[in-house]
């Protein structure tokens, strides 16, 4: 039996915190609607106390989106929780996401507090939030750099106070997959009331390990992944939704599944790119422009004979265009013949050789040879 992993999307909160990515209420609602169509389980709609605009956006999403959990972020501060509860009130599935820093950096340097005091603040915040909603998620900020024994104490207190989900953020993207997996396993084995809540991964990508860490987390027992479309987020970003979903999809042996409609991954990626003004790198896994493009002769020959020679995902599965055979100076005769056939031009062996020599002259002058250039060079052959 496959195990269901909850997808918690934080594009509208952690993703939107990025400079230049700010959205208005109308844009946030439009994206929330697309996220629901995509099949995410939880939409983190914003941080309601941060500004009147974000309050309005969370409140509007809570009113309009039915049947999906709508979440609002708070600090472990009663005023924040009051505002989040008010913004989320219209939702049929509201969740308050509250928490506090637990690493030494946070406890001593940022909060100028003590470990005992932080446990008490965590307890109070969760209890307070539970007065408003049945689903309270607690985050232990910088859990990635928090000592496991102390982290287990905080997690136990949060669950004891009524938290239903415990988020273990690797806030600075510091952990190695093995360390992050061990952290989740440690909590699964050492928190006495762990059966009363689920653990969630929340990984940042400072070392390019967010996706690997999230997968290590679910393999060790976490049941929810927090992620964003295109992996956008603070600094180097968050875990990329499309990557974790397709890893679970393609590696059937790891026995995880999600509710995500994978054919909507490319369309939503383009919406986020456009609305949030954040271009996707061409070689981005799953949704980058080059994710299914082949330009070297050896690869093109393999793909033309059988797509699976150089592709582990069928582009249709993620809503992308067909695999592309790009003509460059590194392309071979097979690719030229293939692209000519696509334009209904049939070439004999001899004609292909003439065309190929002409093609190389053009290709050496340009980055790519497009259909117009190809038609011109085929003319008269
Ligand atoms: O990275 C982080 O620690 C966060 C929390 C506020 C959940 O985004
Ligand atoms: Zn984060």
What is the whole-number distance in angstroms between the Cα of residue 192 and the centre of ligand 1? 25
Q: Establish if 281 belongs to a structural domain.
A: no
Q: Are 260 and 39 in contact (CB under 8 A)?
A: yes
3-state helix, strand, coil in the chain (%, to 5): 50, 15, 35
**236 and 335 share one domain:** no
**pLDDT score of 280 more than 90:** yes
| CATH classification of the domain holding 56 | 3.20.20.70
Calculate mean pLDDT across residues 21-33.
Answer: 97
Q: Establish if 224 belongs to a structural domain.
A: yes
What is the whole-number distance in angstroms between the Cα of residue 149 and the centre of ligand 2? 22
**pLDDT score of 47 more than 90:** yes
Q: Are 275 and 34 in contact (CB under 8 A)?
A: no
What total of structural domains would you count in the chain?
A: 2
Calculate mean pLDDT across residues 302-306.
Answer: 96
Q: Establish if 51 belongs to a structural domain.
A: yes
**333 and 228 share one domain:** no
User: Ligand 1 within 6 A of 167 CB?
Assistant: yes
Q: What is the pLDDT of residue 54?
A: 98
**256 and 314 share one domain:** no
Per-residue pLDDT tens over the stretch 255-266: 999 999 999 999
Q: What is the domain range of residue 97?
A: 3-275
Phi/psi at 137 (5° precision): -105, 135
**pLDDT score of 254 more than 90:** no
Pocket test for ligand 1, best of 13, 202, 237 (most atoms within 8 A of CB): 202
User: Ligand 1 within 6 A of 169 CB?
Assistant: yes
Calculate mean pLDDT across residues 148-168.
Answer: 98
Per-residue pLDDT tens over the stretch 344-377: 999 999 999 999 999 999 999 999 999 999 999 9
User: Ligand 1 within 6 A of 141 CB?
Assistant: yes
**215 and 355 share one domain:** no
What residue owns the CA closest to ligand 1's atom 5? Answer: 141
Confidence at 320, pLDDT banded by 50, 70, 90 = very high
User: Who's near 80: CB < 8 A, 6+ residues apart?
Assistant: 48, 49, 74, 98
Q: What is the pLDDT of residue 228?
A: 98
Alpha helix stretches (DSSP H) within 171-315: 177-190, 210-219, 241-250, 265-275, 297-305
Domain boundary among 221, 241, 275: 275
Which pTM value belongs to this model? 0.96
Q: What is the pLDDT of residue 360?
A: 97
**pLDDT score of 90 more than 90:** yes
User: Ligand 1 within 6 A of 16 CB?
Assistant: no
User: Ligand 1 within 6 A of 202 CB?
Assistant: yes
**308 and 169 share one domain:** no
Q: What is the pLDDT of residue 105?
A: 97
User: Ligand 1 within 6 A of 14 CB?
Assistant: yes
Q: Establish if 71 belongs to a structural domain.
A: yes
Confidence at 114, pLDDT banded by 50, 70, 90 = very high
Q: What is the pLDDT of residue 253?
A: 82
Maximum alpha-carbon separation in the chain: 83
Alpha helix stretches (DSSP H) within 220-332: 241-250, 265-275, 297-305
Q: What is the pLDDT of residue 381?
A: 85
CA dist., res. 125 & res. 101, Å (int): 13
What is the number of residues in the chain? 381
Q: What is the pLDDT of residue 1?
A: 84
């Amino acid at each position: 039996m496959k195990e269901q992993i909850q997808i918690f999307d934080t594009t509208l909160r952690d993703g939107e915190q990025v400079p230049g990515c700010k959205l208005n209420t109308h844009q946030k609602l439009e994206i929330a609607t697309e996220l629901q169509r995509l099949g995410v389980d939880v939409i983190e709609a914003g941080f309601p106390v941060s500004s009147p605009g974000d309050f309005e956006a969370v409140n509007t999403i809570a009113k309009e989106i039915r049947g999906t959990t709508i979440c609002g972020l708070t600090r472990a501060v009663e005023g924040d929780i009051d505002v989040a509860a008010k913004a989320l009130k219209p939702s049929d599935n509201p969740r308050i996401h509250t928490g506090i820093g637990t690493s030494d950096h946070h406890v001593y340097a940022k909060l100028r507090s003590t470990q005992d005091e932080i446990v008490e603040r965590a307890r109070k915040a969760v209890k307070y939030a539970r007065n408003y909603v049945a689903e309270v998620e607690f985050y232990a900020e910088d859990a990635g750099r928090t000592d496991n024994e102390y982290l287990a104490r905080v997690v136990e207190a949060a669950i004891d106070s009524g938290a239903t989900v415990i988020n273990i953020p690797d806030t600075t993207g510091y952990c190695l997959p093995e360390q992050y997996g061990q952290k989740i396993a440690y909590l699964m084995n050492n928190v006495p009331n762990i059966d009363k809540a689920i653990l969630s991964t929340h990984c940042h990508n400072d070392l390019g390990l967010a996706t690997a860490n999230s997968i290590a987390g679910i393999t060790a027992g976490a049941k929810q992944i927090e992620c964003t479309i295109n992996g956008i987020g603070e600094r180097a970003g968050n875990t990329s939704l499309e990557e974790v979903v397709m890893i679970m999809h393609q590696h059937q042996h790891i026995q995880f599944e999600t509710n995500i409609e994978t054919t909507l991954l490319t369309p939503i990626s383009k919406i986020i790119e456009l609305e949030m003004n954040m271009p996707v790198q061409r070689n981005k896994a799953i949704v980058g422009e080059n994710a299914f493009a082949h330009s070297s002769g050896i690869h093109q020959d393999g793909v033309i004979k059988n797509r699976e020679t150089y592709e582990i995902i069928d582009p249709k599965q993620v809503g992308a265009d067909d695999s592309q055979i790009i003509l460059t100076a590194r392309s071979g005769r097979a690719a030229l013949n293939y692209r000519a056939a696509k334009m209904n031009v049939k070439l004999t062996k001899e004609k292909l050789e003439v065309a190929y020599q002409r093609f190389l002259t053009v290709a050496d002058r340009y980055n790519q040879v497009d259909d117009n250039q190809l038609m011109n060079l085929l003319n008269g052959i």
